[in-house]
Structure 1
Amino acid sequence: MLDRYARQLIDPPLNRMGRALAASGFTADSVTVTGLALGLLSALLIAMGVPGWALVPLLASRLADGLDGAVARATRKTDFGGYLDIAVDFLFYGAIPAAFVIHDPASNGAAGAFLLASFYFNGTSFLGYAILAEKHGQMTDAQGQKTLFYSDGLLEGTETILFLVALCLLPAYFSPLAWVFGVLCFATAILRIYAAKRIFTT
């Protein structure tokens, strides 16, 4: 729900930084891969039991996730770049909960499995909707200029980042936070499927 409002605040500075990176020779794909490396480093730190330290690479990886699109807009956007970006995002979003489960499977296993299942379902509903939207010629830039159609929902990128930050700050509350966020992910996916039924039933 918050992405369209967050974009109004973060896009101008991100675009300035993206132009500077592009002028220095960085490519959008290299920024995407750097963001993935930082995100996986964050997951490794969580699995090692130091989630507080994981916040730094986690936030840096999300900055890189915003910057890759800005670099692409300053140079040349490609379909592969958009594909790589969404694949990397899904890997990152799955790696963080998995790291909490790896660190303490006894306490976090059930909630972590539920959360990952909700991510899987929500991600499938998101990508499926994007395919149908493309087929029907729908377009939107509410979440910024994207290669794929980004349908809105109860939970989007902004909410997910805030959730992951909360997990790092409050690791002892992983299970209740994961159960609640997982339920909201399922609700987001179900509402998206309902919207698709209304819009794309012919």
Structure 2
Amino acid sequence: MLDGWMRRIIDAPLNTAGRRLAARGVGADAVTLAGLALGLAAAGLIAAGGPTLWALVPLLVSRLADGLDGAVARARGKTDFGGFLDITCDFLFYGAIPLAFVLRDAGNGAAGAFLLCSFYVNGASFLGYAILAEKRGLTTRARGEKSLYFTAGLLEGTETIVFFTLLCLWPYGFAPLAWGFGALCFATALGRVALAWRVFG
């Protein structure tokens, strides 16, 4: 829901940084993998049971890298593999953080399973829509220049980053936050199914 608004704020500085990195020979795939490594490091810190605030910096820097990889790709030239690698790493990151909170505290198991199920369904609706949009030749730049067709939704990347930040700030609130966010993820997926029915049905 907030990604379109956020893109208007971050695109210009990201594109500037992306051009500078590209000029120094940094590849987009390397930035993607560095972002994933930082995200998994954040998950590891959470799962280890230490202060979750320690995970906040690598978590947020990993999301900065997730924005930078696209900017570098636009400067150096986009590739289909780069888009594939980016979305695959994103999904791994999004699954690793809830898993880390479950590994940290087994009492979070039910809420974590519900949240991961909602991510799974939401991701399937997102990717399924992107495949059909590509088949129909549909394009959009509402969420920036992407390798895949990005549909708007109630919850998008910005909301998920805010949610993960809240979890790091208030780890003992994982269960209620996860139940609530998971329910909104299911609502997002349902909205995307309704959109697909209108567009493709």
- Mapped to 2, the partners of 1:141 and 1:88 lie a distance apart of 22
Match of 1:87 in 2: 88
Structure 1: 5+ residue stretches without partners: none
Work out whether 1:149 is the aligned partner of 2:129.
no
For residues 58 and 86 of structure 2, what CA distance do their matches in structure 1 show? 17
| Matched position secondary structure for 2:21 | helix
Question: Alignment RMSD, CA only?
Answer: 0.5
Equivalent residue number for residue 27 of structure 1 = 27
Matched residues, number: 200
1:6-35 per-position Cα deviation (integer Å, ceiling 9, x unaligned): 000000000011011111110000000000
Q: By how many angstroms is 1:39 displaced? A: 0.3
1:137 Cα offset (Å): 1.2
Tell me the CA shift for residue 48 of structure 1. 1.1
TM-score (norm 2): 0.99
CA distance in structure 2 between the aligned counterparts of 1:165 and 1:138, rounded to whole angstroms = 34
Measured after TM superposition, the shift of residue 121 of structure 1 is: 0.3
The 2-side partners of 1:66 and 1:80 are apart by: 17
Within-5 A mapping of 1:1-202: 1-49=1-49, 50-105=51-106, 107-201=107-201
Moved over 6 A (4+): none
CA distance in 1, matches of 2:176, 2:61: 26
1:35 aligned partner, one-letter code: G
CA positional deviation for 1:51? 1.1
After TM superposition, the structure 1 stretch with the greater mean CA deviation from structure 2, 47-56 or 29-38, is 47-56
Q: How far apart, in 2, do the equivalents of 1:136 and 1:189 lie?
A: 20
Q: TM-score by structure 1 length?
A: 0.98
CA distance in 2: counterparts of 1:77 and 1:137, whole angstroms: 18
Deviations 1:76-98 (A, max 9, x none): 10010000000000000000000
CA–CA distance in structure 2, aligned partners of residues 51 and 94 of structure 1:
17
Q: Secondary structure at the match of 1:144?
A: coil
